[in-house]
Structure 1
Amino acid sequence: MLKPHHVHYYIAKTTMSSNHFHQIEGYTRTVNGNGYDGHYHLYRGITSFENKHYHRYYGKTGPAIALPDGTHYHEIAGRTYFNYDQPLPTEYGGVIYDQPNRPKHDHNYQGATEKGTGYEPGFDPSRLG
């Protein structure tokens, strides 16, 4: 069975925390796989900039979930890294973790990727089933 390299686009909204939420959006890392082999992808990024800050996040998708047309998707879920409720002023943005007793928060998220994209030209996922 063919195991083409590909990526998946994802977008999800985080849970509300400290009176705001963020959006996560991006592409998974590329791997070789199809909807029937249980492969997974790694992903990472930073959330949207809300309430004067963002959060880092890293994750691993769930295994491939096959669709009737031969394509597949993955579920994603996780939590962001902590950031301060009132971010410290920084000249270039980012996060400074130097005040351990300063109130901080994180967010959870869950969603699903879209079908795979970035397949080689001429690839036909219906050949997999």
Structure 2
Amino acid sequence: MNMRIGQIKPHHAHRYFTRTTIDNGHYHFVEGFTRMVNGNALDQHFHLFRGITSYENNHYHRYYGKTGPAIPMENGDHYHLIENRTYYNYDQPLEVEFGGVLYSEEERPKHDHNFKGNTFETVGYDPFLFQN
């Protein structure tokens, strides 16, 4: 079988976990899995990610983003850098009786948070990378 290095691009995702900046007297955790893509350590691929932060100070924030390109590791695997900001939320959350999202018609003070970190292990199995 004739294959060039970097030709195999397995379907995979990554786990991520980081903390936001402290704004308005609190921070949130940002945790989840990137979207699946085909790629390897050498092809500069990226992943999309999205989620909801941890619930702190009576609220959470939505976030969306795109990782940086693949960064090769000595063992043949790779990781990605993540950096973005959360969407705004009110400094003083509105009372919601049954859950969900409630927006105020009047202008209210709001805040967001920045975050950065990196992804962790590849989630998925690459049969060419881990042969016996």
What TM-score does the superposition give when structure 1 sets the normalisation length?
0.91
Deviation at 1:101, TM superposition (A): 1.8
State which structure, 1 or 2, has the greater radius of gyration over its C-alpha atoms: 2
Corresponding residue for 2:123?
117
- Letter in structure 2 aligned against 1:5: H
Structure 1 SS opposite 2:94: coil
Count matched residues.
125
- Paired with 2:128 and 2:68, the residues of 1 have a C-alpha distance of 23
What TM-score does the superposition give when structure 2 sets the normalisation length?
0.89
Deviation at 1:90, TM superposition (A): 1.1
Give 1:80's match in structure 2, choosing from 83, 86, 92: 86
- Paired with 1:108 and 1:94, the residues of 2 have a C-alpha distance of 24
- Paired with 2:110 and 2:15, the residues of 1 have a C-alpha distance of 29
Contact 1:7–1:117 (CA<8 Å) still a contact in 2? yes
Taking the TM superposition and a 5 Å limit, the aligned residue runs for 1:45-84 are: 45-84=51-90
- Paired with 1:117 and 1:16, the residues of 2 have a C-alpha distance of 30
Query: Relative to 1, partners in 2 of residues 1:100 and 1:65: Cα closer, same or farther, differing over 3 Å?
Result: farther
- Letter in structure 2 aligned against 1:93: G
- Paired with 2:25 and 2:43, the residues of 1 have a C-alpha distance of 41
- Letter in structure 2 aligned against 1:50: E
- Paired with 1:4 and 1:42, the residues of 2 have a C-alpha distance of 16
Give 1:101's match in structure 2, choosing from 107, 114, 118: 107
Corresponding residue for 2:31?
25
Consecutive unaligned residues in structure 1, runs of 5 or more: none
Consecutive unaligned residues in structure 2, runs of 5 or more: 1-6
Using the aligned pairs only, state the percent identity. 58
Q: Which runs of at least 4 in structure 1 moved beyond 4 Å after TM superposition? A: none
- Paired with 2:106 and 2:30, the residues of 1 have a C-alpha distance of 26
